Structure 1
Amino acid sequence: MSEQMNGVETQGNTSCFSEQNFNRLLVIMKDKNYAEGSHLFWEGDVSDKLFYIKRGRVKMTKSTDEGKELILYMYGRGDLIGQADPFFSSKHSFTAEVIEDCEVGIVENKDLEILICQHCDFAIDFMKWMGIHHRLTQTKFRDLMMYGKPGALCSTLIRLSNTYGEQHGDTILINKKITHTDLSNMIGATRESVNRMLSDLRKKDALEYENGMIVIKDLVMLQDICHCELCPNEICRI
């Protein structure tokens, strides 16, 4: 797919759509701007639309009964997000919070149903997008459940490097400021335990900090700790 279609730069999880099918999506989108701190939707809202992020960033969270927040996904430009359930009435399982001012294209489910029914090639591309989303969810839960908190943290650092990383010689700079609280919310751990694990990784010379941002110095060590299966980047992302 070309890097730009109808003036919209494409990347993220929509690379599975052909140029023709992506343009079909663009035609039915209705643009809307969201300010930082606002929400695209809340957990429990009716899931009747998808959201294509043209600019900005969004985090998808799940809240526990005790009020603790778990960050499940972080989305940016080029990502299509929402609960992919066009033929059934359902409710959102997560909350989508805007963490950078966003320009979003909104796709109504009723318009999406028409595209799926009219164009079999679009339906195939849409199934590919759903498949990527399901694999991303499966691998994240595998990381959280199978290899303990150190494995989950290392996996999260690898995903961050694939999403925001910049290669500088033998090191990778994660070009977004990620706080220890953010990391703890991503893996369901306490901030104190994340501090200890990061300190251990620094002592082992696996990472360091540069202007408040994480620099990965030994990617192989992180991969060994989390038993990395070398998933493609569209799956191994935050």
Structure 2
Amino acid sequence: MILLNEAFKKIEIFKNISPKTIEYIKPFSNLKKYREKEHIFMDKDEVSNIYIIVYGKAALYKLSNFGDKKVIFIFDNGKILNEHSLQDIKVSVNCEVLEDSIILSIPAKVLISAMEKDFELSKYMLNLMSLNIRRLYRQLQNTTIDLKCEKKLASKLLKLAKDNGIACKNIVKINIPLTITYISDMIGARRETVSRQINKLSKLNLIEFKNNNIFIKDIDKLRDYFYDM
């Protein structure tokens, strides 16, 4: 099991703040291992901790009135999962672990107290919230009714490659296991439709889908395909 000191060294938010701030936060912090598909919190839960991924991956998602899952964000190492929990209100989203992960939890009240004393920490949290708001704006733009499924798919693959891609020459592997069903949840489309579009992109030699892994064979060609549609 990873030690608390090691965890703090690996998380981006703690790299530019005062050592005194870290020493203040550390005694209140805890590490926990979560298994694949386990939930850290659920919609409408009262959450008093801020959760940060030390190792692993997790997704935030919502359920529609019909029970359909809509994935909002996927986060990996060092990312904060619920900065919105700084407000003393119930969460409005679900958080599911995508692979065995180690999560750091910090009481929200402790983090708020630390932010009052350390401007760099406050600035980081504000920048994070601003970034996530911009990401949500882009998602709204890409989920309009008139946007073709293939364009949604290409857009999502480009975003996943940017955030979670591992490059080897011209090929980029999206470093998240993705089933057709999960991709459908991410872009809000029927499974059968997504399967057809995956096959289409594969036949165009833009991607390869193998063992729940997606390899983008040429990121520039996929980007051109997205803008030409």
Same fold (TM over 0.5): yes
Give the Cα–Cα distance (whole angstroms) in 2 for the partners of residues 15 and 139 of structure 1. Answer: 24
Give the Cα–Cα distance (whole angstroms) in 2 for the partners of residues 15 and 49 of structure 1. Answer: 16
Give the direction of change, closer, same or farther, for the CA distance of 1:161–1:38 in structure 2 (3 Å limit): same
Give the Cα–Cα distance (whole angstroms) in 2 for the partners of residues 107 and 127 of structure 1. Answer: 18
Aligned to 1:204: 204
Aligned to 1:40: 40
Q: Which runs of 5 or more structure 2 residues have no equivalent in the other structure? A: none
Q: Which runs of 5 or more structure 1 residues have no equivalent in the other structure? A: 229-238
SS in structure 1 of the partner of residue 158 of structure 2: helix
Answer yes or no: is the 8 Å Cα contact 1:53–1:104 preserved in 2: yes
Give the direction of change, closer, same or farther, for the CA distance of 1:189–1:111 in structure 2 (3 Å limit): same
Answer yes or no: is the 8 Å Cα contact 1:83–1:92 preserved in 2: no
Q: Which moved more, 1:182-191 or 1:35-44?
A: 35-44
Give the direction of change, closer, same or farther, for the CA distance of 1:214–1:120 in structure 2 (3 Å limit): closer
SS in structure 1 of the partner of residue 163 of structure 2: helix
Cα displacement (A) at 1:125: 1.9
In structure 1, what residue type is equivalent to 2:113? I
Q: Map of 1:87-236 to 2, 5 A cutoff? A: 88-145=87-144, 147-227=147-227
Give the alignment's TM-score, normalised by structure 2: 0.84
Give the direction of change, closer, same or farther, for the CA distance of 1:39–1:183 in structure 2 (3 Å limit): same
Cα displacement (A) at 1:164: 3.1
Aligned to 2:16: 18
Give the direction of change, closer, same or farther, for the CA distance of 1:59–1:212 in structure 2 (3 Å limit): closer
Q: Which moved more, 1:62-71 or 1:21-30?
A: 21-30
Aligned to 1:7: 6
Q: Which moved more, 1:144-153 or 1:120-129?
A: 144-153
Q: What is the number of equivalent residue pairs in this alignment?
A: 221
Give the alignment's TM-score, normalised by structure 1: 0.81
- The superposition leaves residues 62-94 of structure 1 with CA deviations (integer Å, 9 ceiling, x where unpaired) of 1011111111112222111114252x4222111
Give the Cα–Cα distance (whole angstroms) in 2 for the partners of residues 211 and 130 of structure 1. Answer: 35
In structure 2, what residue type is equivalent to 1:202? S
Aligned to 1:59: 59
Give the Cα–Cα distance (whole angstroms) in 2 for the partners of residues 78 and 94 of structure 1. Answer: 20
SS in structure 2 of the partner of residue 144 of structure 1: coil
In structure 2, what residue type is equivalent to 1:215? F
Percent of counterpart pairs with the same letter? 23
Cα displacement (A) at 1:165: 2.1
Give the Cα–Cα distance (whole angstroms) in 2 for the partners of residues 226 and 10 of structure 1. Answer: 35
Give the direction of change, closer, same or farther, for the CA distance of 1:72–1:207 in structure 2 (3 Å limit): same
Q: Which moved more, 1:186-195 or 1:171-180?
A: 171-180
Cα displacement (A) at 1:17: 5.7
Structure number with the higher helix fraction is 2
Give the Cα–Cα distance (whole angstroms) in 2 for the partners of residues 226 and 138 of structure 1. Answer: 18
Q: Which moved more, 1:134-143 or 1:218-227?
A: 218-227
SS in structure 2 of the partner of residue 91 of structure 1: coil
Give the Cα–Cα distance (whole angstroms) in 2 for the partners of residues 189 and 25 of structure 1. Answer: 46
List 4+ stretches of structure 1 deviating above 4 A: none
Cα displacement (A) at 1:23: 3.4
